[in-house]
Amino acid sequence: MTTAVCPACSTSSLAVSQAEDAQANVFLSLPEIHCAGCIGKVERALNGLDGVRNARVNLSLKRVAIATDLPVATLVETLEKAGYEAHPLDSKLLDTGADPQGRALLFRLGLSGFAMMNVMLLSVSVWSGAEAVTRDMFHLISAAIALPVVLIAGQPFFHNAWSALKVRTLNMDVPISLAILLAAGMSLFETLNGGEHAYFDAALSLTFFLLIGRYLDHRSRSAARSAASELSALEVRTATRMRGEATEIVDVTDLAIGDEVLIPTGVRVPADGELLSGQARTDRSFLTGESDAVHLQRGEAVQAGEVNLGQPFRIRATAVGEDTTLRRVAALVETAEGARNRYTALADRAARVYAPTVHLLALAAFVAWLAATGDVRHAINIAIAVLIITCPCALGLAVPAVSTAAIGKLYDLGFLVKSGTALERLAEVDTVVFDKTGTLTLPGFDLTVSDLDPDQRAVARALAQSSSHPASRALTEALSGVAPATVTDIEEVSGHGVVGRWNGKTVRLGHGTWLGASFRGLGLGIGDAATEIVQSEKLRPGAPEAIGELKAMGYDVILMSGDRTAAVEEVAARLSIPDLHAGVSAEEKHAILGRLAEAGHKVAMVGDGLNDAASLAAAHASIAPSSALDATRNAADIVVLRETFADIPKTFRTARAATHLSRQNFGIATVYNMIAVPVALAGFATPLIAALSMSSSSITVLLNALRVRWVK
């Protein structure tokens, strides 16, 4: 055991923290942390536990790495007590290592930045009037710095341009690479021949600004990728296998056909199988959308993905891994063509027009000047100046800067945006379709307890807290502020409810029919009198506000569910959604979306079940809660990490603002080009003008992009 020399050393020393990170064996996702106070509280809470060797929060990834031997459940519970939602992540699926590609880009960015600053300083001397030998010397030093840096830092562009040229297409990187290489090559030639104009600073600032765009793009894409791997890692893939009477925890991938598997309460079934226990109650809503539990008898089939709502039960596995119904359906969804594949991003549309135009313009300048003056060197110089001036610095930054800022902002609000084009597509949407079960409603009930008098509440509380039935637990929660009455002889009557004695009377909590009342739902009986406790589905927090706001913003809101008409109508009425489709299957959902698209609507789909996955992929844009199955989350563009839906309208507003700002950025870049290009064509472009127009347009575009953060 070694102790750090001083308290501060142990936390500030990078070597120590790296060594500790390497030992971290448990990773928890903390979607709600956002500040220094959160870091402090989380680390204090975890490090205060016996058995936690080290806990370190990564605020950028909203994740904590813990080195511990404690069970994950203890850690999650500790954090929940401290006030933070925590989800365990599967460390095997998690990409915990550093990101080598991002680091290489950052290295190139830094290198070209430093080189650009130095060469720019040398260029200032040239612009301020250095002449003859002095100028040549400055040019030579610039060349010595610029050439190796351009060759190293420009590689991402050369690579992409080369792979595009190999298949005989043009992309944005072809004009970029041409401009960088020609600018450097022509400047070298001019320097060696004692020429007046050298564009080393332009070649470097081009590389630098474009690398900023590349790096931002990479950051948001790798964030999405790590987020996607984090989401798959959210499902800890273990199963409890029976070895005779003993249990062992095994990886789901190690399960074999014929294995006996125990499914504890509240856990997803890991494999298809047949029920070995007498009976079971499961939630199959991910397949059907039905909110009611399914009752199964011994021997009946259980499918992977169902959630055990009742007592623990055992199954014998009949299909495991990729052969389960769940995986087969999920695989179908994953191969289905999604809307995102048909969509062309704004930047790509711009590049298609842009790349040929620039080349033609440069060629025209060359031909015209050659014809007019007969001076090949001068004509080449002007053509290259046109290429440099029109080089898409600002264009390369316009979209990545905006989408990075927007995605970062939404991430802080608890939304994972999986692609930059998701925001563009979301901005075009005019109709929002919600699924019901698991999306607008959550497992559990809202119970109306306001009809009960104080005595009834106290008795109900006493009876409810002694039972573990879901309805009882919901009732205990609803009555959490009520002191329980003294009820004696409490007994649970299986299939009916709870019975006890209070003030000499028999008190019962259970089905209306069992209480001898006229209603069928949950009721409380004191003596012979029975009162109904009205049960309704539990709405997701923030859902009513979100739907109200979306309607106010002018979106058509539609509710679509596989559940019974009555249940769907009830929820639609509570959320005041006029338009609803009940009892629809996965295919019908898909067809309804198709009809909406044919009618010219652009639809955003919000859903969580496997029956929604195909619709999510087919919709113009899609959103899924983080509680959804991973196939569904994979199909969605945006994943809501927090439980509440209250901020959903904000994603729509941010998406609209981001697209608007991207277009505005294109506009700004075009204006700069419209001023600079005629100057270049006329042969007046000097390296100074190139440097000015390039830097100012790039900086304007970057600053404009940051405005997306101000969207309320």
Partner 1 sequence: MNVLVFLIPVSLILGGIGAAAFIWTLKTDQYDDPAGDAARILLDEDGPDAGPIEDSKEN
Task: Let me know: does 244 contact 259? Beta carbons within 8 Å.
Answer: no
Give me the least distance between CB of 417 and partner 1, in Å please.
17
Alpha helices (H) in 430-528, listed in sequence order: 454-464, 470-478, 512-515
Task: Let me know: does 698 contact 394? Beta carbons within 8 Å.
Answer: yes
Return the closest-CA partner of residue 708 out of 305, 282, 401.
Answer: 401
Residues 12-51, one symbol each (x = binds partner 1 by CB under 8 A, - = not), give --x-x-xxx--x-----------xx--xx--xx--xx---
Q: Which of 3, 193, 335, 341 binds partner 1 (CB under 8 A)?
A: 3
Give me the least distance between CB of 75 and partner 1, in Å please.
14
Q: Which of 11, 297, 503, 518 binds partner 1 (CB under 8 A)?
A: 11
What is the three-class DSSP state of 308?
Answer: strand
User: Catalytic site residue 435?
Assistant: yes
By beta-carbon proximity to partner 1, the closer residue of 96 and 324 is: 96
Q: Which of 24, 28, 30, 61 binds partner 1 (CB under 8 A)?
A: 61
Q: Does 504 bind partner 1 (CB under 8 A)?
A: no
Q: Which stretch binds partner 1 (CB under 8 A): 111-119, 341-349, 646-654, 672-680?
A: 111-119
Q: Which of 57, 550, 557, 610 binds partner 1 (CB under 8 A)?
A: 57
Distance CA 41, CA 32 (A): 12
Residues 69-108, one symbol each (x = binds partner 1 by CB under 8 A, - = not), give -----------------------------x----x--xx-
Give me the least distance between CB of 146 and partner 1, in Å please.
13
Beta strand 87-89 pairing with 26-29:
antiparallel
Give me the least distance between CB of 40 and partner 1, in Å please.
5
Residues 146-175, one symbol each (x = binds partner 1 by CB under 8 A, - = not), give ------------------------------
SS3 assignment for 31-86: CCCCCHHHHHHHHHHHHCCCCEEEEEEECCCCEEEEEECCCHHHHHHHHHHCCCCC
Return the closest-CA partner of residue 711 out of 400, 405, 424.
Answer: 405
Give me the least distance between CB of 125 and partner 1, in Å please.
9
- Measured in degrees and rounded to the nearest 5, phi and psi for residue 433 equal -105, 125
Return the closest-CA partner of residue 204 out of 357, 393, 400.
Answer: 393
Q: Does 110 bind partner 1 (CB under 8 A)?
A: yes
Under rule CB under 8 A, how many of the chain's residues touch partner 1?
43
Give me the least distance between CB of 96 and partner 1, in Å please.
11
- 435, 608, 612, 647: the active-site residue: 435
Task: Let me know: does 401 contact 423? Beta carbons within 8 Å.
Answer: no
- Measured in degrees and rounded to the nearest 5, phi and psi for residue 62 equal 50, 60
- What is the DSSP annotation of 647-678? THHHHHHHHHHHHHHHHHHHHHHHHHHHHHHH
Distance CA 586, CA 584 (A): 7
Distance CA 61, CA 223 (A): 8
Q: Does 372 bind partner 1 (CB under 8 A)?
A: no
Q: Which of 24, 28, 52, 329 binds partner 1 (CB under 8 A)?
A: 52
Give me the least distance between CB of 641 and partner 1, in Å please.
16
Distance CA 5, CA 631 (A): 49
Distance CA 31, CA 647 (A): 14
Residue 550 CA, chain-centre distance (Å), reads 21
What tokens appear for 148 in the block?
A: 């190796």
What is the three-class DSSP state of 123?
Answer: helix
Q: Which of 121, 151, 363, 483 binds partner 1 (CB under 8 A)?
A: 121
Q: Does 60 bind partner 1 (CB under 8 A)?
A: yes
Q: Which stretch binds partner 1 (CB under 8 A): 115-123, 379-387, 456-464, 582-590?
A: 115-123
Catalog residues that contact partner 1 under the rule CB under 8 A.
1-4, 7-8, 10-11, 14, 16, 18-20, 23, 35-36, 39-40, 43-44, 47-48, 52-54, 57-61, 98, 103, 106-107, 110-111, 114, 117-118, 121, 134, 141, 145
Q: Which residues are catalytic?
A: 435
